[in-house]
A and B are shown apart, each in its own frame.
Chain A
Amino acid sequence: MLDAAEWGIVALSLKVGGVAMLVTLPVAFALAWLLARVRFPGKVIVDAAIHLPLVVPPVVTGWLLLLAFGPNGPIGGWLQDWFGITVLFRWTGAAIAAGVMALPLMVRAMRISIEAVDRRLENAARTLGAGPWRVFWTLTLPLSIPGVLAGAVLGFARSIGEFGATITFVSNVPGETQTLPLAIYSALQQPGADALVWRLSCVSVGLSLIALIASELLTRRAGRGLHVL
């Protein structure tokens, strides 16, 4: 089985993936709701921009993140000046990269589930005296929650597997930014580390399978349009 250092890699991957997913979740939901429910000029462009990380080479996304979060970048400079923190070569940077790469997948899954909520039920709620916020909290959100969770699980799986943007943005620092794919990549560079590659790859495939199955089960529930909680 795995030794302590390898468990450390798995734990770091789960931490990076988990934080990336949790932080991206509200952003993805807000964007999904906007795309599903609001008509506004430039919607096509916003939609395309959200999906960019899905099609742009990950190395480009990583490089853009480096420009934005670097010491002279607009966000990086601000973080440094106001809070004295940097995300370069840190696990927080790896989580940012993973979150950005997972965003389009999460938005897609959530948008579909929000679009599937029956507007006629929302209209019925309005006539019963519920304002837009109450309709959102009591109907839109609970009825779309299976799809929202499916999107979150999918985003988590994508985050754990993130490689290109991460290695470009925060490099490959053991114990800090070296998640499972980066550790596998490093092991492939060493002679005689085949066994390690096998073990880490098996863990990777196992985690992804679990996440995909969970996501699929939640999506089916969402399709039936019934409560899950």
Chain B
Amino acid sequence: MSFEIDIEKRLGHAHVALTLEAGEGATVLFGPSGIGKSSVLNMVAGLLRPDRGRIAIDGEPLFGDGIDVPPERRRAGYVFQDARLFPHMRVRANLLYGAGREQDGFEDRTGFLGIGHLLDRWPRTLSGGEAQRVAIGRALLSRPRFLLLDEPLSSLDRARREEVLVAIEHVRDVLKLPILMVTHDPVEAERIGTRVVRM
């Protein structure tokens, strides 16, 4: 499994450009806030269109050469900075939103994330750490080919960070899903990253 990314995008006065080839494990995009790290993830997910370039996963092009696969067919498991749980659905419905008819692995996923007891709760009643773990579970249950993590710890306090870090390590080491993660925190970058790309 590999990422091939070679993209350019002008956003207002800023110019975002990145060339990257990465194999298994977690690739961390590291750098200060506001230099377009999240925009890179949005372009890989198909939510933002690069001005030019190419994005491919495992040799299969998602963007470039006239191809632009819509986000719903890219199978990116995207965990946003703010969990973005759907406020009008309970945790269970949020988790199953992308799962389709097959619900394999539901017990496993909710188990290692420690969210089994939250299934009947509304998102607004969850703590930040709980919401972020549900967001990770929701992304994993959509049967993604890879995971995109956008500052998944930045809205959490120290104690909650550890819970989510352990969950991310589990995804990297046990589920062996390739991860592309954005952070401005050197400690997180060091701990999660199989390789770190400075932007």
Chain A residues whose CB sits within 8 angstroms of the CB of B80 once the complex forms: 120, 124
Chain A residues whose CB sits within 8 angstroms of the CB of B23 once the complex forms: none
Chain B residues whose CB sits within 8 angstroms of the CB of A123 once the complex forms: 47, 71
Identify B88's interface contact among A125, A128, A130, A142, CB under 8 A: A142
Chain B residues whose CB sits within 8 angstroms of the CB of A138 once the complex forms: 86, 97
Chain B residues whose CB sits within 8 angstroms of the CB of A129 once the complex forms: 72-73, 75, 98, 100, 142
Chain B residues whose CB sits within 8 angstroms of the CB of A8 once the complex forms: none
The interface bits of chain A over 22-58 (1 if a CB of B lies within 8 angstroms of the residue's CB, else 0) are: 0000000000000000000000000000000000000
The answer, yes or no, to whether B178 is at the interface (CB within 8 Å) is no
Chain A residues whose CB sits within 8 angstroms of the CB of B76 once the complex forms: 127
A226 touching B98, Cβ below 8 Å? no
> Which of chain B's residues 97-116 have a Cβ closer than 8 Å to chain A?
97-98, 100
Q: Which among A120, A127, A129, A131 has the greatest number of chain B C-beta atoms within 10 A? A: A127
The answer, yes or no, to whether B164 is at the interface (CB within 8 Å) is no
Chain B residues whose CB sits within 8 angstroms of the CB of A121 once the complex forms: 84, 86-87
Tell me the smallest distance from the CB of A218 to a CB of chain B, in Å.
15
Chain A residues whose CB sits within 8 angstroms of the CB of B71 once the complex forms: 123, 126-127
The answer, yes or no, to whether B195 is at the interface (CB within 8 Å) is no
B139 touching A128, Cβ below 8 Å? yes
Tell me the smallest distance from the CB of B164 to a CB of chain A, in Å.
17
Bound complex: CA A96 to CA B18 (Å) = 58
A125 touching B74, Cβ below 8 Å? no
Q: A120-B84, A227-B87 are in contact. Are A128 and B98 (CB under 8 A)?
A: yes
The answer, yes or no, to whether A170 is at the interface (CB within 8 Å) is no
Tell me the smallest distance from the CB of B147 to a CB of chain A, in Å.
11
The interface bits of chain A over 86-130 (1 if a CB of B lies within 8 angstroms of the residue's CB, else 0) are: 000000000000000000000000000000000011011111111
Chain A residues whose CB sits within 8 angstroms of the CB of B74 once the complex forms: 127
Chain B residues whose CB sits within 8 angstroms of the CB of A130 once the complex forms: 72, 97-98
Bound complex: CA A131 to CA B138 (Å) = 17
Chain B residues whose CB sits within 8 angstroms of the CB of A79 once the complex forms: none
Chain A at the B interface: SS class: helix
Identify A128's interface contact among B47, B124, B142, B148, CB under 8 A: B142
The answer, yes or no, to whether B46 is at the interface (CB within 8 Å) is yes
Interface size on A, residues (CB 8 A): 18
Q: A129-B75, A130-B98 are in contact. Are A225 and B138 (CB under 8 A)?
A: no
> Which of chain B's residues 34-49 have a Cβ closer than 8 Å to chain A?
45-47
Q: Which among A120, A126, A143 has the greatest number of chain B C-beta atoms within 10 A? A: A126
Residue of A nearest to B88 (CB): A227
Tell me the smallest distance from the CB of A132 to a CB of chain B, in Å.
8
Q: A123-B71, A129-B98, A129-B100 are in contact. Are A226 and B47 (CB under 8 A)?
A: no
Bound complex: CA A225 to CA B88 (Å) = 9
The answer, yes or no, to whether A139 is at the interface (CB within 8 Å) is yes
Tell me the smallest distance from the CB of B40 to a CB of chain A, in Å.
15
Residue of B nearest to A225 (CB): B87
Identify A127's interface contact among B78, B88, B100, CB under 8 A: B78
Chain A residues whose CB sits within 8 angstroms of the CB of B82 once the complex forms: 120
Chain A residues whose CB sits within 8 angstroms of the CB of B84 once the complex forms: 120-121, 124
Bound complex: CA A227 to CA B93 (Å) = 14
A128 touching B138, Cβ below 8 Å? yes
Bound complex: CA A38 to CA B142 (Å) = 29
Contacts A120-B82, A127-B78, A226-B87 known; list 11 others, CB within 8 Å. A124-B86, A126-B71, A126-B72, A127-B46, A127-B72, A127-B139, A128-B138, A129-B98, A130-B98, A131-B72, A225-B87
Q: A residues bordering B, Cβ < 8 Å? A: 120-121, 123-131, 138-139, 142-143, 225-227
